[in-house]
Structure 1
Amino acid sequence: MPSLSKFLADNRGLSEKEADWLQHLIGDWNLLSDLLRADLVLWIQEEEGALAVAHCRPATGSTVYYEDPVGSLSDDGVEGTEVTRLLAGGEPHHRPTAIEREGRTATGLLIPVRKNGRTLAVLAAEHPDDDSRTSHSETQKRRLGGRLLRMLETGAFPIEGAPIPPRRGAPRVGDGVVELDEAGVVRWISPNAISAFHRFGIEGDMEGITLAELSTEVLQSRSPVDESLPLVLMGRAAWRSDMQARGGTLSLRAVPLTDRDGRTGAVILVRDVTELRRRERELITKDATIREVHHRVKNNLQTVAALLRMQSRRMKTDEAREALAEAMRRVSTIALVHESLLQGSQEAVHFDEVIDRCLRLAVDAASATVHRAGTPRLADAQVEVRTRKTGRVGSIRAEEATPLALVVTELATNAVEHGLSETGGTLTIHSERTGSHLLISIEDDGRGMGAAKPTGLGTNIALTLVQGQLGGTLTWDSLDDGGTRAMVEVYLDPLTI
């Protein structure tokens, strides 16, 4: 099934701004659906007829559609004819009509979606018939939903440019609804909203009193107050804000109600987000603690590497100096992973950046007979080694990043020391990832390994890490045009952040 964006992009009768307006409507029409307790279907005009391009089910009531109507064309019946008439610019009747959906009776209402006086689409609001008595709360919500439908008809809803920040805990109709008049006085409040405000510390009857006045009495004087809170409490701006008092937190969203004469009131959605905000604060504290741990580990590892470097300078034999240099390089590689964790999520490492740094580390520390392309030549006998990276690994779990970084560094170092130290050439790392499957090849265009099997401490370390910690395979083969390729194949664990 094509997406709404695809439907709108293929429609020649809508400009880019008009398509964006319909996208804005779809992003906020759950408010309408929940207030009306009705399914919403958006119809646009196509060459073949009226086409349903979006559908929303209410969270506060039952649906009339078991099958998604998106992608279907309107029929030739009375309802389809009315949709076509409205799409052509006709005026709505504003009368609910009896309809049938999948063998059940329902009530439908058709409203044109207009912007700048032009009809862009038609919104069908449909709810199942219910023999039970409608409660006072449900009647009030449907009345408020009807006011928003009239705003939709005149192009006043959704509210253009409403800066609603994308913060978790957005209140919905089922959490609590308050209706304000143009002066900010409470005209009606739902039972769930009353419970939320009572837990917040506001007691007694709230109707007939200014919501801002009620809230000011319980606000914490020492806590910072969002500058947008007064606008939200008065219903003057389409905004979201949090209000804190007595250890609790309420999330508020204001939707001003307007007609042709101006603002006539507002709908305030309210949700108790005390527990959610507490958990967010704990996560922020935990994140800061973990970052500090990674920072200290990185510093400690760099200190160890510096100590090894100092000790290697005191060694009198080349063998001892090389052994300490290898240990220093491995410690530095682990430090790279912790530094990457500092810059991103504490659960994931962007491994492509680690590969870049491993390449530089491997070439710079591999042998005194080589120098990296773009760096000064220290001796006439040095050969030049170029590095190249292709493909992407993406983000991987921190537990897998450390052994994989060590493996890449060891294999890259071996390629330089044994394949390129005499002739120079190009060291290439190619990554290929499909889902959890990861394949990394380290290639050099040097003299090749021939029939000899790779041995040594670095090779043993790489094999142990790949087979033991990563549960993968490590193989070597000779390239046809000279050189050696090492292949690492592993299956990564799912990344959850």
Structure 2
Amino acid sequence: MIREICEKFTNLPESSIRKLEKISEGLPVLSELLETDIFIDCLVDSDRAIVVAEANPEHTSNYTKSVVGEYAYRKNEPAVIRTLETGHPSRDYKALTQESKYVTQNVVPITDDENKKIIASLIVEEKMNGNQTNEIKFLTDTTKEILLNSLKMSQERKIINYVKDGIIIFNDKGICIYQNVKIKELFKEINYKTSILGEHFDNIVPDSIKFSDLVNKKEGWNTEIFIADKVLRLEYFFIKHEVKKNLVLFLKDITDIKIKEKELMLKSVAIKEIHHRIKNNLQTIASLLRMQARKAEDESVKKILNDSINRILSISITHEMLAQNGFDNLKIQEVIKKILRNSVRENINENLNLKISIEGDDFQINSDKATTIALIINELIENSVKHAFKNKKCGTIIVGIKNEGEKARISVVDNGIGMENRKIKKNSLGLQIVKSLVKDKLDGDLNIKSDNNGTNISFDVKLDQN
């Protein structure tokens, strides 16, 4: 668009047009940084200039539509014509926009170094009675660097990400040549000078590092400091121009973030402590039941109490793991491993050489489902260990895990005598617990296959989708 307009309405040579195209690449970043509308105008005749490029901030623009290709008349925008004619910057000139709105214009000339001629003007507009006049000094004092390579912002696009943070720019001597409004706000909150233009780096930056130390660094630098009850993050990086380097400082108030991080840490500690206490309480209940079982004379009562103890301990396992890591999600294989150690230790026959293994996938699951799976696995393993290997000297139990995406299938397979030979009742409490948990808690199905070569019991687990 710049080339098309210039070739049609001006006599600018190819080198000048290329320069304007280069400068225009950095305008969007400058516009967001200064929060103002920025234009490039070229002279058409003694009374008119034409807009060849523009950039508007996302939320604070004075315009509702593009004005590229429209004229700027002397009577409406005298500063534009004055600067194009004289080559002098024009500050705080009142102007009437193409949309009939009054604004204040600050204008600097754009020159072609090859022939020393003025080829265009760079216009920064703000609403009447704006508060950014001092910041336009940044444009005037560094006109050459801005216009020659637009502060290299077309390449340093990441600067856009910082426009809501405090921004200070220092020249190669460490003198502040720009500060945005946010810096003034931050410095006021920490009782620092709010107007720092012309001040040296070492006199204004709330950090112990010196400008000379930063200049010698090959890369940028970032740090966090605590000052006036605030936590500030400082990030420095350099923008090179020929042999000179401008230093840019981004200053962000991260106090709220740090407070939230501390709150989360305290909550995590509290949650871990809660799980630890639940685990201890469950183990206390199990100990009381164990004492009761020892005193019971009826073997059937002992069996019922011991089964209840194992169920309570299987629940406590998940709380033990949650107390250790503080996260709600647990790895399924780790849960099952702990269940296996508990069930085998409590129920294995000393004369049985039993091999138990876990095969398949591993994945994370929330604590509620982990507790349910722990109960189910406890029932199935306990049942196999107690009943599947009667009159056998050796046996195997394999816990298989298969992640199928939206759901997972977990199976407990033994090579025992089969359920018919075990004479397991279809309405036994253990199976009732398993069926109820699979259906109501896991939203899955239970499948039982059993013959003389062993038993395969599998169930589905509906997985949470991230």
Tell me the TM-score normalized by structure 2. Answer: 0.62
Pairing partner for 1:280 from 261, 266, 272: 261
Tell me if 1:461 matches 2:433. Answer: yes
2:390 and 2:417 in contact (8 A); partners too: no
2:151 and 2:239 in contact (8 A); partners too: yes
Distance 1:229-1:386 versus aligned 2 partners, 3 A rule: farther
1:407-422 equivalence runs, <5 A: 407-422=376-391
Equivalent position of 1:355 in the other structure: 336
The code of the aligned residue for 2:274 comes to V
Equivalent position of 2:355 in the other structure: 386
Equivalent position of 2:184 in the other structure: 194
Secondary structure of the residue aligned to 1:333 is helix
Runs of 5+ consecutive residues of structure 1 not aligned to the other structure:
1-31, 39-57, 63-129, 159-169, 217-227, 370-377
The code of the aligned residue for 1:477 comes to K
Equivalent position of 1:161 in the other structure: none
Secondary structure of the residue aligned to 2:461 is strand
Tell me if 1:301 matches 2:297. Answer: no
Runs of 5+ consecutive residues of structure 2 not aligned to the other structure:
1-25, 33-54, 60-120, 127-134
Distance 1:300-1:147 versus aligned 2 partners, 3 A rule: farther
Q: What are the Cα deviations for residues 362-385 of structure 1, in whole angstroms up to 9, with x where unaligned?
A: 222224x2xxxxxxxx5xxx1111
Secondary structure of the residue aligned to 1:230 is coil
1:350 and 1:396 in contact (8 A); partners too: yes
Q: What are the Cα deviations for residues 390-442 of structure 1, in whole angstroms up to 9, with x where unaligned?
A: 11241111122111211111111112222124323111111112333121111
Equivalent position of 2:233 in the other structure: 251
Equivalent position of 1:8 in the other structure: none
**How many angstroms does 1:465 deviate by?**
1.6
Distance 1:302 1:478 in 2: 35
1:94-493 equivalence runs, <5 A: 133=124, 143=146, 146=149, 149=152, 172-182=162-172, 184-214=174-204, 216=206, 230=209, 235=214, 238-257=220-239, 264-367=245-348, 369=349, 378=350, 382-423=351-392, 424-450=394-420, 454-478=426-450, 482-493=453-464
**How many angstroms does 1:304 deviate by?**
2.4
Distance 1:256 1:310 in 2: 73
Q: What are the Cα deviations for residues 172-213 of structure 1, in whole angstroms up to 9, with x where unaligned?
A: 244232112456443321223333333343243122334554
Distance 1:59 1:492 in 2: 47
Secondary structure of the residue aligned to 2:165 is coil
Equivalent position of 2:22 in the other structure: none
Distance 1:144 1:198 in 2: 32
Q: Which segment drifts farther, 240-249 or 271-280?
A: 240-249
Secondary structure of the residue aligned to 1:472 is coil
**How many angstroms does 1:232 deviate by?**
8.9
1:25-64 equivalence runs, <5 A: 35=29
Distance 1:490-1:183 versus aligned 2 partners, 3 A rule: same
Distance 1:281 1:408 in 2: 38
Secondary structure of the residue aligned to 1:422 is coil
Secondary structure of the residue aligned to 1:476 is strand
Distance 1:325-1:493 versus aligned 2 partners, 3 A rule: same
The code of the aligned residue for 2:402 comes to E
Secondary structure of the residue aligned to 1:420 is coil
Distance 1:186 1:431 in 2: 63
Secondary structure of the residue aligned to 2:330 is strand
Distance 1:229-1:324 versus aligned 2 partners, 3 A rule: farther
Aligned length: 338
